[in-house]
Structure 1
């Protein structure tokens, strides 16, 4: 049974259609991340699931029950907001238990649920404090606790970590992952941060202009992007995209003499003479050894040491590439180096539709 089903959901504001037919079926215990840049429609979709906005078309089912027209409090959901939305005059304990209090849950049962939730989130010693006495990370734990204590069918998170600094974001990602693994809760989580998406999700829906570009596991999104947009959006540094033409001998890159072999996954006969976008992840690239035939010869422009890796920007003819190399690699700005990579690391996309050209 699907915990949440989104059927052909559309949303229109006047002449502007912000959601253009979204279909997702979410099984119990899944962690779905809606990923995309600002304005793609991910928060609009979350608000429709929550009941804060009604769709212009389609249906939302929670536990196989349509919730169109159902008040948010009756949808069996809990939502964690970007702003925490804590009551400043209430203690942590009362903030966590406020929803139970409004539902007239008996005091003893309510106190027990609050204590169990605080223990789970490791904030037992904060129960008598007010929100003004808490750090950003502690406030976020309280907001999560207020959702957890209700034990709903679906949890909704609207960019909950965006107000935290980098260190706290990493800690809270780990905490959310731990909680999900323990509780097996069903989650829909909105973010524009691809690291959050990759580390937390069981599936990712990459959204663009009110549509889903690809819905798949993090591994598939990263290793087999369905479109140019997904390939460029997911990954840091982003995937190298090179212009080329498919020829009988391989992939002729624009502006240089390099010809790359056509990977076995692509039908060279069917593609011959077509234009293509060639995608290669920066981490798939390495310096060619003397015994290897190089794939590309590049002029080094910029070298940046991040600590765990050396991020190198270079040009191949008129096109720019990025390579992530071991941190002790000896490279100098202005030097020329030969690079290689496994042909299975290459992706081909249609330059007009943006879709992958892979066979099957």
Structure 2
């Protein structure tokens, strides 16, 4: 069993506070992704868990035991770095087994562990090569193998895929998912890539300016973002954000001379005349037909065919209207400058407070 508890962790460098009270509890086997932009504090938090930095205040417990002040080698963790950190003069075999060698593990036991890790990562044929003879994806697998042979209580990953090209990132991401399912080990993973976070995590901690904006499952983060920041950060393309005012049970969009019904779920929390920010996922919009209810009149400005879909940037109303992005089927007959009516399902709308950025309270109907 391997659990992790982070309790009110703060970290300051002089007068600069980089972590401002982090609280997270992980059960055994969870895959936590720390997600956020550069400078939000995610790598600092990972280094504190690893023992490469100490918190200014707060506590970190692994399996219920505080590890603050404990040397990294005594924490029973393994860390995979962004830069691979392989020894260029050693073979893959020795790179994977180096940590065991330093701990005086017998040669036969060490060789068995190396072979097991290599087989799991499908790199048995590479054991006698040196890092210079490997591709980026192969080097990253060797770095992961070096962590695996330790059989630690906790795995830490610091943006391990950011040096790989798009195809290798996809392949290695799939391997990491498979490994977690097989090993059922607790993992903390740092990334700025929301696709990695959504596909790998059992829970995501979205970080901003040293704080956690929201902690939840990928589905919770995507379907019920707690703040406008989370809604805009998670999702590709990002969620559309439109200024509006609630009037007479409708959402009147600014500069568009159009309105949408106020969703039933928000009718108890939004007052008449209240300014709101309307959030709509691009994939929740589609070209209106004769059966569509709520629609928006738009003009297409930019059409981008990605292959599986068209990403259309459109403008609401006239030249001064707000822009909106929609993900449409690839054979949609639409060109730049064409008028287009978009249908909106009111149940997919999100509402945020324009000042605080917090999601407005949603009251779901009884089943």
TM-score range, shorter chain: over 0.9
Shift of 1:271: 2.4
1:38 maps onto 2:12 in alignment: no
Cα distance in 2 between the residues matched to 1:222 and 1:293? 25
1:117 is the counterpart of 2:105: no
* Residue from 325, 334, 339 that aligns with 1:336: 339
Which deviations, in whole Å up to 9, do the C-alpha atoms of 1:106-143 show, x marking residues without a partner?
Answer: 11111111111111111111111111111111100000
CA distance in 2, matches of 1:110, 1:117: 11
Q: How many residues align?
A: 360
1:48–1:54 contact (8 Å) kept in structure 2: yes
Q: Is the 8 A contact 1:294 1:338 kept in 2?
A: no
Cα distance, 1:269–1:11 mapped onto 2, change above 3 Å: closer
The list of structure 1 runs, each at least 4 consecutive aligned residues, that deviate by more than 3 angstroms after superposition, is none
Moved more, 134-143 or 334-343: 334-343
CA deviation map 1:197-235 (0-9, x unaligned): 011000000000000000000111111111000000011
C-alpha separation in 1, matches of 2:301 and 2:178: 42
Instruction: Structure 1: state its 5+ residue gaps.
Output: none
Q: Secondary structure at the match of 2:60?
A: strand
Structure 2 residue corresponding to 1:355, chosen from 336, 351, 358: 358
CA contact (8 A) 2:36 2:192 kept: yes
Is it true that 1:211 corresponds to 2:214 in the alignment?
no
Q: What SS class does the counterpart of residue 271 from structure 1 fall into? A: coil
Q: How does 1:182-261 map to 2 (within 5 A)?
A: 182-261=182-261
**1:298 Cα shift?**
0.4
CA distance in 1: counterparts of 2:114 and 2:26, whole angstroms: 28
Partner deviation per Cα, 1:245-283 (whole Å, 9 max, x = no partner):
111231110012211111121135642221110000000
Q: What is the CA RMSD across the aligned residues, in angstroms?
A: 1.1
Q: Distance in 1 between matches of 2:66 and 2:269?
A: 49
User: What is the CA-CA distance between 1:146 and the residue it aligns to?
Assistant: 0.3
**Judging changes above 3 Å, is the alpha-carbon distance between structure 1 residues 129 and 264 closer, same or farther for their aligned structure 2 residues?**
same
After TM superposition, give the deviation of residue 336 of structure 1 in Å. 1.1
- Measure the CA separation in 2 of the matches of 1:125 and 1:270: 63
Alignment check: 8 A CA contact 1:2 1:25 kept: no
**CA offsets per residue over residues 147-196 of structure 1, 9 Å max, x none?**
00001111000000000000000000000001001111110000000111
CA distance in 2, matches of 1:270, 1:262: 9
Q: By how many angstroms is 1:333 displaced? A: 1.2
Q: Is the 8 A contact 2:2 2:186 kept in 1?
A: no
> CA contact under 8 A between 2:231 and 2:238: conserved in structure 1?
yes
